[in-house]
Each structure stands twice: as structure tokens, then as C-alpha cells.
Structure 1
């Protein structure tokens, strides 16, 4: 048996007496079954067209001519069983349509089910047409759920179990997901699991928050008689009244600039050297200088874990060539605490 990425119309002309379509899982995914050489030949032809194929690990070539020798015995045993009218609607994967009670109460129906192709895609389409919005997959994994999603986008699928995941956790998670789509009999579930319902507390729920606080909004520097720099590292600028000098001020902290924690050296957060360059360039642009000719870092700027750092950038007078000096000063807040 082999899974093949192809449509039924594409595979049907390639079938021989020794091979058959075992299942149609979605409009473009099916399984072929039968003689090994015939199955390999068909799969290889699809691979040459760039289609995906996968050989299945199975004990028999189910739903193929290899099943024919056991059909008579199967039919005889099936005829001895007593069948009852189904209590819920049943969509048949043999026909892809909703089955009647008469269909399901015959031995021939179940014999044909063993031999015929599993028309899962057609059954999924019928369920969608009937108004089904949620399907619960009761099986060892979510294989059928993915097939449904590949067939229609109007049905939500919820597998009860997933491979290599704890069964109890996966089951309860699936029930929680199902609870958001329909009404569940939680009392029945809780009784079976040994749990019990309790009354909600009469006081407000207590919450523990895990998300980061948004950075605080800075005030408008113009209200303080300063010039707004519109720069994340420089809050405001001020021209000295009696001389051609400028002072830029700002405040940095891990609360207002959380991205600075990415530059940690020996468990200490330092302002990156590139940030000093950025500050110097922005200050130069503000005073009309062409750029930064040389910048020497005398000492690192350490950002405390809890409080902030006040920063001043001083730009000196222009000399005869138009060059200016630039100094960056910093000091921790006197009693600031951002926690």
C-alpha cells in the first residue's frame, strides 16, 4: 500500500487487475493497494511528475484484490450478526453519502466496506453539506483531522489524542477546545474522572500578570521650553542662551528601553557602542554639523537593574573650521525606581 498525492481521475487509468484505490482521503490524496510491482509502478509514475508518495507499513494490501479470498467467509459471519437501527445519523465511507438503516443492517454492506475504497473525502464533504461544524477524532493521533482540513475549511477538527503526547493532558485539552465550539456534559466527565465541581469564589479573581508593561509615554518637551528631538535615545535639546553650545538630555532605563537587555556583558547591561555613535550623529545633525569625525569611549555606561540613568550630551562651540566637541555624561537617578 502506498499514499500518493494525486486525484482519483489521475490514478484510475493507471490501475491494473492487481491494484486498486484503497482510500480517498482528500481531493488530492489517496492510497493505492495491491500487487507490489503494480503499486510501485503507479507510485513511481507520480513521483516523476513531482508528486509526493509514501509506502505504508501494513501487514496486508487492504481494500484490494488481495482481500477477495476472505470475502465469502467474512460475509457468512456478518450474516449471522444482529443489526440495529442507528440512533444517530451515519455518513458512510463506502458511498460517501448518509447511510440508511437498511444499508447498515445487511451483511453485504459490511462485506463491500471491507473490499471497496474508503471514500473519506466524499464523506467529509457530505458532513459539511449537512451542516457539521465540528468533528472530534477518536483515535491514536490527528491523521484524520488533517485529512478533513485538506478537504473543507468549514469544519473544525479536534483530535482527542496525539502521538507522543501524554494522553490525559491531550484529552483534557481537546475537551477544552471542544467546549469553545459546543456544549459539553461536564458533570458526566467530572464524575467519571473522580473530580468535582466547586462554587466560584465570591471575591474578585486574583490575577498574576506575566506580560511586559508598555513603555511609559514621555511628556512633550516643548511644554518645558525645550526642543523635542523625536529620537528614542535623546529626549530634548536646549541651546545655551549666551553662547553657541547645546545640551541634549534623556533618561534611559531597562523599563523604558527593554531592548537594551540584549547587550549584556558579564551579567551587566551596557549601553552599546553603536548607541553612543547614534546619539553623537543625531546631536551633530541637530546643530548643523556634517557628521562625527572621531568618537572615543572612555568608560562604559552601565544600566542599573531597577532605576534609570540620566544622560546629558554637551555639544561645544564651533571652532574656526566648524568643528565642535561632544561629551556624553551620565548619572543614576537619585531615587528613581522603575520596578
Structure 2
């Protein structure tokens, strides 16, 4: 029981650090802890098995994995009869047979066999290697070095370079060993939540214990500069929108903000036809945020009308305006921008970039049908890997150049008629800690790149470029802001009945889940449309400041 408690506790530590295993395997009694870590057994059932087996072995002085256990068969199977197993979150392999285990196989007879029969970890390790595992972490009390050596020898015999490490090590404190193992995994490409693992939360500092000397070296001001409240606005808790106001007597709400490459440098990593364009996922996030403030947390539809361009030498002012609600609670919404005028110059015209309708979230349970492929084993058995390595170079050649902040696609698979993907926020984004309305726009944009990684994706040429044009039925189910996602992209015509227009338009549906398979957001239909490349060049040239104005400002 003590070994079981140590192992499941270590598994919880790794989970809290953002490290999710691809598969688990337990040796002997360790298979109970492995089942708990995989989510196939509850902690209560795991504790029942571990404590009950330990008690029976102690009472009868019967050594495990020997014929002496046959006399305890009836008692051991009766103990396990009350345990219920389910489908785990990750794959689980048996150290008795080496085969992958299902919930139906985790019956009372199975738990007797794990104690009675010899442990054959070699077969399980070979199965893990065959499934692509390249890093193995041993959980539990500090293990003998021959365990790791055996795994390394099996991998070497197959010509595989596999990292083998342990969570706890002999002769030293536990935390340094944990951090060293996390660093080894991170160097191998595993996702590690360093903020959680190192407890990097901001802490208040103690004030000085001596009396303040009260000598001022700054000009006195009546209120902090840039405070939205000083101009009659309410501060907006959003990374890209600064203020909010309700227009008296009209039922209209307005959100305002200012964008520039200098103040939001990650947006400069989204380039279309040599033009920095604010991605449609940002405009969608604005609609979700505005709708949530007004009790309309679902974007029923959002159509993009014109690209929102960021010139490196100037800023733009943006307005997100929500109109009054109709009888059903739905509100119209628009997104406008105009270039920031230089001192002494008149303001330019407003350009409408998107029109949307936000609506209250319908009552009733969420339909989880579209999320089933994202729960359980990941990737699902039988999924065919799609190589994304050269994707971003190909997209750049097509006119869509993504910098580091938007290169979030980690892996992609074809599963039947669906595309599955795994995306994660690059370090350039995750380090900022900015919280959006649900899914970070850079993460949502990366989710669409899997479509381009597939060989059947719509192409592009010098005259046109494929981009999102309209969103329908967008709903955030978990607003905790995950840093990685599992993604399912499917034909919206099949899933929702939305149509598609041959070579000029494609419709997709998206289901997004976190690293454990829990639903995060859904898009019932997303229309991709071929836009003329000349539109972006015209928008770029129209938004750039005139040469003489730029020189005068310098």
C-alpha cells in the first residue's frame, strides 16, 4: 500500500506539472497504480486493491508470483470483484502479456494474474517502443539501477534512442531529482508547465520597515495616465481591449482598444502576402469576450469583411460594438478600426472588418458526440500520422508566413474522414501569461494548420490565399485557458449540414479538448475561402502612413 501511495502521488505531481503520459505499464502490484494513473481505476478502488492484497499476503506469508498464491485465489478474486474499471485516459499495457489492456480485461481474474504469474516487462517495453514511445519515466520508490538498464538494453537491441529516467533517486532529496527528470523530458520535447512546477507565482513584497522620506522626483498628477476611468470608461479585462462603455438609452455596448506591432509584437508573426494581418481568431475572441459580458456567450455567426492590417510604423484604434438585444436575446456586433492619426492630423475613416451575432448559450447538456475522438487513448488506435515538418515552409511559399508565436502545430493524424491534431502555445506566447476569452487566438489559429498539413488541403497560388471567412456556432465550454489542445477537424457538411462551394469555399467543424480529452470549445462550422492576394496588398498600402508624415514624426 505504501508503494502504491507513493506511485499515484508521483503521477499526480507529473500531471500537475503538465506532463501527460502517452502510455503506462505497471510491474506486479504496480499495475494497480498504473491503472489509477491511466484513469482506468478510481483512487478508492486502487486503494482497496492495494491494501487488500497487502493484508492477505501478510496474513498468509505467501510470496507473490509463486505457486503459493494458488491457495489464496478465491480470496483475492473476491476482493477484486467489487472493483469497477473504466476506459482510461491513456493507453495501458500488461507486464504479464505485454499486450494493451482494455476496461473489459481489468476484471477480478486479471488482478489475480498480476500477483500470481511471472512479471515479463520486456514484452510490455517492446510494445511501447513499437507504438513510438521514446522516453520512459519510472515512478515509485527509488528503484534499483538494473530496471532502467534493462529498458535501455531492450531499446538498444531495437536500434532505438530512448530516454530512461526515474522520478526518485537514491541518496538525495526528492525535489532536485524531480526537476532534473522534468528537464530531461523537456529536452526530449515533452510539454512541461514550468510555472506550476517551479511555483513561479507573483508574491507581494514586504514594505520597508523604515519611515518613508517622502521626497518627490516626479511631476504631480491627479490620476494615473492611461486609466480608462478618467475618460468615463470601464476598464476591460482583456489583453487587447482597454475600455468599455454602455451608450445611454440605446442598449448598445462599446469596447475600445489600440493595437500596434510595438505594443503587441506577437501579432507581427501572422503575415499574409507580406502584410501583417490580425488573425480572424482575434476578432472571434473579441466577439466572444463582448458577448460574455452581455450574457451572450455564444457567437452564432461572425463574417469577416476586410483584413485588419498592422503597419510597423503606426497603430490602429479598434472598436467592438454590440447593439441592443432582440426578443430572443441575440445582439448584432461589429468590429471596426481606423489608423491612429498623427499629432495635428484629422482622423481617418472607420473600416468594418467583421459583422457578427452573439446569442445566449442554449439550455441543456452539451452534445459531446464530436469530442469522443479526443477522449481516451491519444492518438486514437489506427490513426495515421500526417507529417507536419515542412508545413510552415510550404505555407510561407503560398503567402501565409507564420512566425514563432503562431507555429503551434505539434502533430497531426488522419482518422477515418477526420483530421486530428495536437497544438500547443509556443514559448513566445505562453511566457506572457495573457488570458483571453477562452482559447488563445494563436492556439486556435494553429488548430487550423492541420488542414494545410494534409495532402487534400485546398491549395493556393500567387493570385489567392486560403483563410477563414466565417464562423458559425462558436461556444467556449472551458474558459481556463489551456496551453495545449487536442483538435478534431471534420467536414461541416457531414457534421452540421453546412455546404461548401467547390474549389472556392470549404466548410469545417472544429472540436477542441484539453490534454486530458475534456471539452474546451466547439465551432459548428468554419468557412475557408480563397481571398485575392491583391486585397491584402491594397489594405497594407492604405493603412501605411504617407512618407512625408512618417519623416515629420521621426
Task: Provide TM-score, normalisation by structure 2.
Answer: 0.24
Of structures 1 and 2, the one with the larger relative CO (CA 8 A, separation 6+) is: 2
Task: Provide TM-score, normalisation by structure 1.
Answer: 0.38
Which is richer in strand? 2
**Structure of larger gyration radius:** 1
